[in-house]
């Protein structure tokens, strides 16, 4: 029975459509990596993977991450040129905004955060000025 369930799950994954990143998403990731590179000079390691997509004013992206007490994190977002101002806000699992060390410069933003409790946290990535744009979020830890 377990083998059948595994085979069905594998078949479902194999049939799931794969979507290549758009040129805009690749450009947004490049911007995010440029900013995150500064944090790697301070001993931060890039986490594998990234989140990307499109956003527009008034329609933020919300991403859940699992964080560990004792670690420090930098969340970095890059967006394409249509974005004039972006922001990252970190919330705990109850929806309370967390105090972060912010950085922002036109279409890039970063937020430094050191949780005191391990668990799920939520990142709100928002376009506060500009037109709809592609974005990419990556994060670093130490």
Torsion of CA 39, 22, 49, 85, to 10 degrees: 40
> pLDDT tens digit string along 7-36?
444 444 444 444 556 888 889 999 899 988
> pLDDT tens digit string along 83-104?
999 999 999 999 999 999 999 9
Residue located via tokens 């309370």: 96
Question: How much of the chain is helix, strand and coil, in % rounded to 5?
Answer: 25, 45, 30
Report the candidate in 31, 30, 116, 113 with the shortest Cα–Cα distance to residue 124. Answer: 113
C-alpha distances in Å from residue 4, one per residue of 12, 13, 16, 34, 135? 12, 14, 18, 45, 39
> pLDDT tens digit string along 42-63?
899 998 888 999 999 999 999 9
Domains assigned to the chain: 23-141 (2.60.120.380)
């Amino acid at each position: 029975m377990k083998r059948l369930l595994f085979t069905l799950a594998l078949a479902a994954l194999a049939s799931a459509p794969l979507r290549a990143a758009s040129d805009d998403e690749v450009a947004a990731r490049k911007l995010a990596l440029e900013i995150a590179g500064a944090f790697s000079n301070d001993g931060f390691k890039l986490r594998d993977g990234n989140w990307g997509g499109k956003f527009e004013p008034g329609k933020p992206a919300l991403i859940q991450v699992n964080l560990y007490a004792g670690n420090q994190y930098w969340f970095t977002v890059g967006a394409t040129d249509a974005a004039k101002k972006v922001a990252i806000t970190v919330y705990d699992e109850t929806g309370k905004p967390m105090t972060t060390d912010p950085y922002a410069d036109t279409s890039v933003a970063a937020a430094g955060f050191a949780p005191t409790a391990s668990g799920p946290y939520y990142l709100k990535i928002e376009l506060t000025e500009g037109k709809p744009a592609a974005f990419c979020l990556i994060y670093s830890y130490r």
